[in-house]
Amino acid sequence: MKIKLSEYKGVVFDLDDTLIDRKKAYSEIFTLLYNEHEVFNSKLTLEESLSFFWTLSPNNSIDIKYAFSEIKLKFPKFKLDFEKFYRFYYDNMINLVKPYDGVKDFLLQLVKQNINFGVVTNGNEYQFKKIKNTGLEGLFNFVIASEIFGYNKPNIEIYQETLRQLKLTSKDVENVIFIGDNPYTDIIGAKKIGFKTAWIKMDFEYPKDLSPPDYIIGSFNEIEI
């Protein structure tokens, strides 16, 4: 069954790996890190290093403190301290990340057709910089970044705020669709409040222990307006 956004009173997108290609930027960032630090490139091939670096980002999201501590554990001679690593990661991310092909035109169509839509993303002010650098600024009715709001997905508070930003009430929850790639944050949280859910599967299988989304899609390209 096709998703038709004009049938909904509200549409909510996750940002990373839903509208913008975080996965590609992630690989580029850790290729840079590999090339710049002997502690990796003197011991391992790029491929071996990347396969380790990918273990730091389960479900398409990174806990930067955890990632740093895992790198230090495996490579005690890694020279960057946490602050420098944090800046290396996020500064490169905002510069390297690109929207998926066709995203901007797709969002412009939503604007033109008066779809009520916004973004709900886990993260801080860097999320706004990503939106700006990918040319998507000003297209959304609202953007909620969890660390600025105060609650991360999948906490119910961020979905209650989403309803408020959509100018809808709890009576309308079934008329809202949430589209995202992370089962544990996007889908579970949105289901908790009663939104319809569309999971972007990337290369993963949906976890068997979680209640399934309403739709499973390969990318935003499969969504109709």
Binding site for Mg ion (CB under 5 A): 14, 16-17, 181
Name 120's Cβ contacts closer than 8 Å, sequence gap at least 6: 12, 13, 14, 143, 144, 146, 153, 158, 159, 162, 178
CB nearer to Mg ion: pick between 17 and 161? 17
CB nearer to Mg ion: pick between 15 and 80? 15
Q: How far is the CB of 99 from Mg ion (least distance, A)?
A: 13
CB nearer to Mg ion: pick between 40 and 199? 199
Q: Which residue is nearest to Mg ion (CB)?
A: 16
Q: How far is the CB of 168 from Mg ion (least distance, A)?
A: 23
| 20 bridge partner residues | 16, 99
Residue 31 parent element (H or E): helix 22-36
Rg (C-alpha) for the chain, rounded Å, is 18
Rounded Cα distance, 165 and 171, in Å: 15
Q: How far apart are the first and last CA of the chain?
A: 14
CB nearer to Mg ion: pick between 7 and 63? 63
Q: How far is the CB of 184 from Mg ion (least distance, A)?
A: 11
Q: How far is the CB of 125 from Mg ion (least distance, A)?
A: 17
Rounded Cα distance, 202 and 123, in Å: 20
CB nearer to Mg ion: pick between 16 and 161? 16
Q: How far is the CB of 32 from Mg ion (least distance, A)?
A: 22
